[in-house]
Structure 1
Amino acid sequence: MLRVSLPVVAIAVMSVSASATPPIAMTNVTVLPMTGDTARLPKHTVIVEGDRIVRVGPANETIVPDGARIIDGRGRFLMPGLCDMHVHIEDATEITLYGAYGITTVLNMRGLPCHLRWRDEIAAGDRFGPTLYTTGDYVDGYPASMSPMMSLADDEAIRAAIKRQAEEGYDLVKVYSELTAEQLAVVGEAARRHGLAVTGHTSDNYSLEHALGSGQINVAHTDQLFRFLDGPRDEARERQLARALRDANATVTTSIAIYVMNAKHFEDLEAILAQPEARRLHPALLQPWRRENHRFLRRGQAEYERQTKRNAELLRFTKVLHEEGVPLLLGTDASTVGAYPGWSVYEELHELVAAGLSPAEALATATSIPGAFVRRHIDPDAWLGAIRAGYRADLVLLEDDPLRDVDAVRRPIGVMLRGDWHPRADLDSRLRDVEQLCADLTPAVLAFEGHIRTGDLDAARVVFDEARRRHPGAMLFQHYWLYFYGFAYLYDGRELTTDPEKLRDAVALYEMYAQTFPDYHSAHSMLGRAYAAAGRGDDAASAFRRALAIAPGYAYAEAALAELIPVAPDEPEDAEPDPDESANAPAAASPDPAPKRVQLPAPEGPHPVGTVTYEWQDPTRRCAASPHGGDLRTIVVQIWYPAANADAPNAPYSALSADYRHVDGNARLRPPFAAMATPSPLVVISPGRGVERYGYTTIAEELASRGYVVASVDMPELGWVIYADGLVVRPNPAFQPSRELMSGPYEKVDAFFEPATAMGLRDLQLAWSNLRRLNDADPSGRLTGRIDVTNTGVFGHSLGGRIAGAFAEANENVRAYISMEGIAPRRARMAGLPMPVAMMCSSGTLPYAMDNYQTLIDGRRETVFMVELRSFGHNSVTDFPVATPSQFDYEIEPRAGLLTSVAIVRDFFDVHLKGQGDFGAAGDRLANVVITEHAAQRDGPNRRP
């Protein structure tokens, strides 16, 4: 009873949020519920509200809601959407194909940051496609099965990798074939600790029993079990293996059709490549299918005979697994050679019937069994894979009965994805769009490949740049193809080449590779190899660090960097660090290769703290400093908030910056929001130049624990920005003032910073607008109705303080403004800001700044507090002196300086956003702090209540 009632409860919740969307009624249709039997329910009506099925019943007994959209199902068959539980999505066009073919759920089996973005876009309704679940990146030993894979050398690296995957939101852990038995046990233990299940390959290094005992709940390919069948096939041993899987409640993913198709490639490859499905596969992904690149065809007749024999064994063994009660998951391995995305699900169903399953049993591998798998191992609230009240409204409408002929699924009349109906005309339109894009890119892909083969890298670069100008972000090669083809440039035999022309070309090739695949640690690692071989040590070190920022612990990059660092050139003796960039992670390796762990101070408020991070684009602006040149300007916003509980995984302090892996904050990753009587005040943090958003974590966690929502904004060009895909945008040196300028007339300083201030102001406005949208309708529901955006405070540091002042002046919802050594723009100083202001200044504040603080005091409309921090440094307000004390030489002890700064910011916002306390009295109880209050002196129409 419990299992039935849970989705019914969900109906009540979902119907409220979806009330603005008219219900949909599928009337007079034959329903194939896929609830464990072969029943057909003729002349039934299915009512959908929002993304849920709310009623299923006989047409003459089911009331259709007023205003519902009617879809006549007379003479047609309605089944649950299909699932593909083993895919490799390499391009967004594949996502469209799955949805258009009626595949409504997919499990991606190598997860990278792009897959998390696509998953979130789909969930938010911003991208057409199936519900997407994804493993993290491969977890493999060292050396790995192939060097591009995520290779981990020791137990601690494995534990850290799995912890990071859990914190970043991946759904499963995928293991590969070079782990030792001991390492697999470590994987299982770490995955259990972080609430993840383990799927993947098997290995010659351990038995099936050991894999199951270590916690592996799925074998990702049927043929991965063949290694445990010694010698000639023995049915008794096969059934013994099957029972071991069944008794462990493990599943097996089928992936038969891909091997059948590869055997057919020997017979008539050209006919297969002439199919419509080939025209819809991105031409770069089609690259390994073509005869000149086809790794199987190169092996000749012996390979054809081997595959044909193995395919017969696969069909027979699949039947054995099914007969012994092993739950089978349909998986295709698309878009690996031999499997078209989406279409190969139809082929797999056909092969399962050929193996001896009935059509109903075959369809269950793509509907109800995956649904049960997802609920058990990924999301207990994911009700999918059947047609019944409370289940997700993923549906496929067919002309013919697939329980009679499973090939009927190849002809959907329409597809419903999470309650959104897409008729045949819409599906065809989307397929044509994909086909047209592929046709547009094909000439460039073929030309690029031709130039690579003939060694003309200059011509290849021209094709590459022109294609990406016309199609931003375009992919002109399949990632494995170029990764390995580049060896012909980088190596002479097994040795690195010393030919300068070949090295120049190798660098050019792998630069294009890394630009195309910024999410791939292996792309940056190979670029680092090319740089190192060409004698570009600094560039090599940067590339290896980028690889490690994406995949900390990647053994190939760690080994290469360890070899490189001892011979890296020293910094010039007269190099002078920018005081705002002294804690900058991406600029250089940490001076301590194994620093002790640092725990940031615990927040003192009554609530646990949750955090979530977003990347938001401004479609009206480009970022000239981005590595690709001209990318859309994208800010990164980390949000902290009061959490309902502390049950979620610990959030990483800095998931992408290797220098701060030793630092632990106190927030949890994406827990539910705390129950609050009223929406929370909003505090926006504007970081200093060269200080990342997470440098203010202690302040943010303290405020969030006391009921605030806090948002810290990384702004490209104004500071370091490291995106979730590992892409790095460095501070623009044009915004770095000289010491001569900073010691001169302040009018020149104002003029110098005006472009950066205007840029940052638009970034904060973008962040605030998106926070307001989250409050209106957060797709996750976490922040909906939780943020009082009309009661906003802003805190800025250094250049960020100047930007925060501009934002305070421009946004009428800002009620309080506090800055650490960052003066508001001259216009705001002269006119007076219409809200309370606190200006924090350390012992080292230059005289010119004090003069301009006085300008702000003289022009005030509201109260201005001068907060003198004696013995403090410019970065005492950040976490960095606590995290890396050796990099700072401040008089005050780092932790004391940070906690005092936290208290000042907290008390100021408590008074002016919550109406609690007396900020002026804070100076009496805080050591080394003097607060001088300058009361409001001017009233006027712009003074804010």
Structure 2
Amino acid sequence: MKILKKILKFILALLGLICIAVLIILWVDALGTDYLNISKNDPKANNSYVITNANIIPMNQDTVLVNKMVYIKDGIINNIADTMAIKGVQVFDAKHKFLTPGLIDMHVHVWDRYELGLYLSNGVTTVRNLWGMPMHLRIKEDIINEQILSPTFITTGPKLTGTVFIGDDNVNLTNVAEAKEKIIGYKNRGYDLIKTYYGLDKDLFDAVIEQAKISEMDIVAHPSQKVPFSYHLNPQIKSIEHAEEIVQQPLKFDLDTTKLQTIINAISKSKHTRYSPTLTVFNNIYQMMLNDSILDSESMGYINPLIKKVDSNKQFDRWFNAKQNDTAVVGNIKNQHDFHSIIVQKLHEAGVDIICGTDAGIGVTLPGFAIHNELNFYKEAGLSNYEVLKTATVNASKTHEIMTAMGTIEPGKIANLLVVEKNPLLNLATLKKPTYVFINGRKLNRKTLDGFNEKAIQRQNLMATAIRYLEHLIIE
């Protein structure tokens, strides 16, 4: 009996030490991102400005509104005019630079708070996170309570799959009742959207769609191979992800434009459906095959260290081995990427709203930086600069009701804005390093934004990330 008591005391002491270690690791990591605290950046918490001498790219029309004034009141655009007299509000002179809506990345995977600064630094003022975990709900809470600087943060719950697509990153639904319970639970916990993934058969998918409608939660679909592709055109599904899924599922890797057109026609008939091609993340497979030392590049320091150690290395090894076994695979991947550009072109010609998403945060796809590659791919697919910008502004804002106050510069919209040196309707590259970013009306200069990059690169928070991921596994 005495031995059992000693063993129990030892176990309890050990658990206590583990708990203390966990708390210390998370506390140190939280200190590492305190540069995002609003109180540190702006002690007065100023989110009201009069912007003068601005050339506005409103994005509700293809034009430039020259030399305008913009009144931001409590983070909301209140008025736009040639002249106005507002007393008691700080004046910001845009010096005839260009004012655009902040960019929206509709497909990201956020792993830590450092990445929030990376998005802001690259002009991304809204992200749609498509792999929800408890830590994302805490980020949302801190944003709502105006404690941290962050892109507007919208997140799905955890990825929902069926019984056959096993993985610790997926929630494997086994029956209809469980599917409905999960969605009700995600709604109650504060997730904004539902993410469906591979492996959902018709019965499970029907249950997800039915309950999502009842719970008033939009669905974002990574197409399931267990149902026809056309099944994802249900009105409850607001966007379909990944151009490669059209190639892999309905086309069965047959890069045939005639067969493709039939699929495009079906998508265009479902007026509610928007498509997020995520060309960048697939093209990065090709980049990994071209560059055997890509994981050692300086830019990879922007990838979360746990993701780099696990996911980035796993992806690199997969495609490195593939090209060793068959040299033709490199050309095949390049050909498929080129076909994805045709998909974007055909979707656009058919009137389907393309929404910009990058799949940033996994593999070698950098948070924040990746959006500029994605926009360039749309340009290469034949879209004009204005049409390209629509994918990351107004098109994205029309996807979900909770996003309708974003995407354009007009009264009543959230003051998520960029000040850039040149006209992006003529030069997309000017978006890469905005001179200023307004996030909910709070102004960040380039020095502050560059500081966000410096804080994030080569960060040492592998253990903290692992703890947060373990929390997700335990809860789900």
Q: TM class, shorter-chain normalised?
A: 0.7 to 0.9
1:327 paired with 2:353, answer yes
Runs of 4+ in 1 over 4 A off after TM superposition: 19-22, 290-293
Partner of 1:520: 472
- Specify which of 388, 393, 402 is matched with residue 415 of structure 2: 393
Residue 114 (structure 1) shift: 0.9
Cα 1:105–1:212 change in 2 (3 A) is same
Partner of 2:454: 432
Partner of 1:23: 48
1:77-92 superposed matches below 5 A: 77-92=98-113
Residue 185 (structure 1) shift: 1.2
1:306 paired with 2:332, answer yes
Residue 144 (structure 1) shift: 2.0
Partner of 1:757: none
Cα 1:92–1:303 change in 2 (3 A) is farther
> How far does the alpha carbon of each residue in 1:480-500 deviate from its partner, in whole angstroms, 9 at most, with x for none?
xxxxxxxxxxxxxxxxxxxxx
| Cα separation, 1, equivalents of 2:235 and 2:96 | 50
The count of corresponding residues between Structure 1 and Structure 2 is 427
RMSD (Å), alpha carbons? 2.2
Cα 1:125–1:147 change in 2 (3 A) is closer
- Specify which of 433, 436, 439 is matched with residue 414 of structure 1: 436
Partner of 1:796: none
> How far does the alpha carbon of each residue in 1:696-739 deviate from its partner, in whole angstroms, 9 at most, with x for none?
xxxxxxxxxxxxxxxxxxxxxxxxxxxxxxxxxxxxxxxxxxxx
Residue 130 (structure 1) shift: 0.2
> How far does the alpha carbon of each residue in 1:884-932 deviate from its partner, in whole angstroms, 9 at most, with x for none?
xxxxxxxxxxxxxxxxxxxxxxxxxxxxxxxxxxxxxxxxxxxxxxxxx
- Specify which of 305, 309, 312 is matched with residue 289 of structure 1: 312
Partner of 1:266: 289
Residue 289 (structure 1) shift: 3.3
Give the partner amino acid of 1:283: P
Cα 1:190–1:273 change in 2 (3 A) is same
Partner of 1:71: 92
Partner of 2:462: 475
1:361-760 superposed matches below 5 A: 361-375=387-401, 379=402, 382-435=404-457, 438=458, 441=460, 474-476=461-463, 515=467, 517-521=469-473, 547=474, 550-551=475-476
| Cα separation, 1, equivalents of 2:295 and 2:92 | 36
1:207 paired with 2:257, answer no
> How far does the alpha carbon of each residue in 1:573-628 deviate from its partner, in whole angstroms, 9 at most, with x for none?
xxxxxxxxxxxxxxxxxxxxxxxxxxxxxxxxxxxxxxxxxxxxxxxxxxxxxxxx
Larger radius of gyration: 1
Residue 312 (structure 1) shift: 0.6
Cα 1:20–1:254 change in 2 (3 A) is closer
Partner of 2:59: 34
Residue 285 (structure 1) shift: 2.6
> How far does the alpha carbon of each residue in 1:771-806 deviate from its partner, in whole angstroms, 9 at most, with x for none?
xxxxxxxxxxxxxxxxxxxxxxxxxxxxxxxxxxxx
Q: Secondary structure at the match of 1:136?
A: strand
> How far does the alpha carbon of each residue in 1:461-515 deviate from its partner, in whole angstroms, 9 at most, with x for none?
xxxxxxxxxxxxx32498xxxxxxxxxxxxxxxxxxxxxxxxxxxxxxxxxx5x4
Residue 199 (structure 1) shift: 1.2
- Specify which of 326, 331, 339 is matched with residue 365 of structure 2: 339
Q: Secondary structure at the match of 1:139?
A: strand
Q: Secondary structure at the match of 2:161?
A: coil
Residue 271 (structure 1) shift: 6.0
Residue 263 (structure 1) shift: 0.9
Give the partner amino acid of 2:354: L
Cα 1:385–1:279 change in 2 (3 A) is same
- Specify which of 141, 145, 159 is matched with residue 180 of structure 2: 159
Give the partner amino acid of 2:75: D
> How far does the alpha carbon of each residue in 1:67-121 deviate from its partner, in whole angstroms, 9 at most, with x for none?
3222222231110000000001112211121122211000000111111110111
Give the partner amino acid of 1:343: F
Identity %, equivalent residues:
24
Unaligned runs of 5+ in 1: 1-18, 442-473, 479-512, 522-546, 552-945
| Cα separation, 2, equivalents of 1:271 and 1:303 | 18
| TM-score scaled by length of structure 2 | 0.84
Partner of 1:906: none
1:219 paired with 2:245, answer no
| Cα separation, 2, equivalents of 1:362 and 1:70 | 31
Cα 1:292–1:335 change in 2 (3 A) is closer
Kept in 2, the 8 Å contact 1:98–1:130? The answer is yes
| Cα separation, 2, equivalents of 1:151 and 1:100 | 36
Cα 1:90–1:291 change in 2 (3 A) is closer
> How far does the alpha carbon of each residue in 1:525-570 deviate from its partner, in whole angstroms, 9 at most, with x for none?
xxxxxxxxxxxxxxxxxxxxxx3xx23xxxxxxxxxxxxxxxxxxx
Cα 1:64–1:27 change in 2 (3 A) is same
| Cα separation, 1, equivalents of 2:351 and 2:119 | 29
Residue 22 (structure 1) shift: 6.8
Kept in 1, the 8 Å contact 2:302–2:367? The answer is no
> How far does the alpha carbon of each residue in 1:221-266 deviate from its partner, in whole angstroms, 9 at most, with x for none?
1221221125633434323322322222111112001222331222
Q: Secondary structure at the match of 1:43?
A: strand
Unaligned runs of 5+ in 2: 1-43
| Cα separation, 2, equivalents of 1:278 and 1:233 | 32
Q: Secondary structure at the match of 2:266?
A: helix
Residue 317 (structure 1) shift: 0.9
Kept in 2, the 8 Å contact 1:26–1:45? The answer is yes
Q: Secondary structure at the match of 1:294?
A: helix
| Cα separation, 2, equivalents of 1:55 and 1:315 | 39
Q: Secondary structure at the match of 2:343?
A: helix
Kept in 1, the 8 Å contact 2:278–2:357? The answer is yes
Partner of 1:252: 275
Kept in 1, the 8 Å contact 2:128–2:153? The answer is yes
Give the partner amino acid of 1:296: W
1:103-122 superposed matches below 5 A: 103-122=124-143
Kept in 1, the 8 Å contact 2:300–2:364? The answer is no
> How far does the alpha carbon of each residue in 1:632-677 deviate from its partner, in whole angstroms, 9 at most, with x for none?
xxxxxxxxxxxxxxxxxxxxxxxxxxxxxxxxxxxxxxxxxxxxxx
Q: Secondary structure at the match of 2:411?
A: coil
Partner of 1:603: none
Give the partner amino acid of 1:206: V
1:197 paired with 2:218, answer yes
